[in-house]
Chain A
Amino acid sequence: AQKITQTQPGMFVQEKEAVTLDCTYDTSDQSYGLFWYKQPSSGEMIFLIYQGSYDEQNATEGRYSLNFQKARKSANLVISASQLGDSAMYFCAMRESDVEAGNQFYFGTGTSLTVIP
C-alpha cells in the first residue's frame, strides 16, 4: 500500500484565490510527522510546513496551512491568496518515528499547481 497518496496530478487556481492540495497517508505508528515541500521547475525541494501527529493545532506558516484530520489520515495543504510564484510541484511526505522503521521519508507522487493570472 502507498504510504502517501496525492490524488490530484494537476490543479489550477486563479491568482489571489485559495487552493487545497490533497494528501492522505497510511501508517500504523502513533508518532509521525507530515511535511509539504514545493519543487519549482528549477528542481530544488523547498520545505513549506510540518505537522506532528500529536500536534493539536493545525500548522500554519504564512500563506500555508495544513488541514490535519488525524482520524481520516489526511493532511491537506491550503495555500491562501495564490501568487504566480506558487506555480510548482507540491509533494506531501511522511516520516514515521518507529525505531524499527528507521528514518525513511515517504513522498507522494506530487501535485502540479498552476496559478492563472
Chain B
Amino acid sequence: GAGVSQTPSNKVTEKGKYVELRCDPISGHTALYWYRQSLGQGPEFLIYFQGTGAADDSGLPNDRFFAVRPEGSVSTLKIQRTERGDSAVYLCASSLRETVSSYNEQFFGPGTRLTVL
C-alpha cells in the first residue's frame, strides 16, 4: 500500500506570504504528527492529531502556525506571514492509534522543503 505522502515536495515563498503544506497519511492510521527539521538538527515536534482533533499542539512555535485534519485523514499545516526562520523541512508521520500504554511505529513522509526568501 501507499506510504505517507506530502505535497509539495518543495515550496519557495517570500517573507510575509501564507503557505499550506499537505500530508496524506497511510490509510487507516488515526494518529498523525507534524515535525519541523532544520538543517543539521533532528525533527522537532509541532503537533499531534488523534483522528480529527489536535490532541497535542504544544510544539507549534507561535500563532502563525496552525494545522487541521477535518476528516481525520489528510492534514494541512498552515503558516501565516512566513519568516525566513520558518525555512526547514516539514515532516509528517502517521501511525495506528496511539494509547498511553502502547507503542506504534511512526511512518514518515518524504517531507516538504520550505524556503522563505
Contacts and interface: CB of A to CB of B under 8 A. Distances in A.
Interface string B21-45: 0000000000101010000111111
Contacts of B106: 47, 105
A99 B100 contact: yes
Contacts of A109: 40-42
A97 interface: yes
Contacts, number: 66
A77 to B, nearest CB: 14
Contact of A43 (B33, B59, B89, B100): B89
Contacts of A44: 108-111
A107 B58 CA distance: 16
Interface in A93-117: 93, 95, 97-99, 102-110
Interface string B66-96: 0000000000000000000000010101000
A50 B105 contact: yes
Interface of B: 31, 33, 35, 40-45, 48, 50, 55-56, 58-59, 89, 91, 93, 98, 100-101, 103, 105-111
26 contacts: A31-B101, A42-B110, A43-B89, A43-B110, A44-B110, A45-B43, A45-B91, A45-B108, A50-B103, A93-B42, A95-B103, A97-B101, A98-B100, A99-B100, A103-B50, A103-B55, A104-B45, A104-B48, A104-B56, A105-B35, A105-B43, A105-B45, A107-B35, A107-B43, A109-B41, A110-B41
Which 9 A-B pairs give the minimum distances between C-beta atoms?
Answer: A102-B56, A107-B42, A45-B108, A104-B45, A33-B103, A107-B43, A103-B48, A91-B42, A97-B100
